[in-house]
Amino acid sequence: MWAELERLGVTLYLHPALFPADHWQVFEGHPVLSGPSWEWTAAVGAHALRLIYGGVFDEFPGASVTLGHMGELLPFQLARLDSRYHQADPAGRPRELPSHYLRNNCYATTGGVYSHAALLGAVQAIGADRLLFSVDYPYESTAEAVEFLRTAPVSRGDLERIAHRNATDLLHL
């Protein structure tokens, strides 16, 4: 599958599911933490890290995944992920630091995280060329998403990349 995605130059979108495959006891008795508020972010972020630590992008360096919700918050953990890299068994860690793969093999959408602070942090962490505007319909407000983008405190070039150019390039539109 990864060879074919790489050959076609298309990305795989990792998105949370309504019914998680795993049952994490930490969420029991706290339904507000389940689903979109935290559980899905943690699960999808963990899957992305498993791809990185599983060597997928070492074997298929042209492959990519797209993560929703501002990269499932992974862009904000780059320093922590990189600092823990050397603690992993050398036989079970990727060739590069995790931040390398998040900057080169991952894209992030803005969907559901309409925070200018988060957007600026993601731009600094992984680059404006890795961000894609998204609405996350029907769970989030389209009007709020559009207003978020319209008022984003980024350069005109970065705004154009995030708003449409990155998607045009990534999706071969």
String of DSSP letters for the chain: -HHHHHHHT-EEEE---SS-SS--GGGTT-GGGTGGGTHHHHHHHHHHHHHHHTTHHHH-TT-EEEEHHHHHTGGGGHHHHHHHHTTS-GGGS-SS-HHHHHHHTEEEE-TT---HHHHHHHHHHH-GGGEE----TTTS-HHHHHHHHHT--S-HHHHHIIIIIHHHHHTT-
Tell me, what's the pLDDT at 125?
A: 97
pLDDT bracket for residue 164 (50, 70, 90): very high
Instruction: Write the single-letter amino acid at 39.
Output: E
Mean pLDDT for 69-87 is 95
pLDDT of 7 strictly over 90: yes
Bridge partners of residue 65, in order along the sequence: 12, 106
**Range 58-64 average pLDDT:** 98
Average pLDDT of span 113-142: 96
Domain 2-17+25-170 of CATH type 3.20.20.100 = no
Active site residue 89: no
pLDDT of residue 65: 98
Q: From the candidates 58, 82, 129, 136, which is the catalytic residue?
A: 136
Check residue 21 and give its pLDDT. 61
Q: How far apart are the first and last CA of the chain?
A: 22
The domain limits of the chain are 2-17+25-170
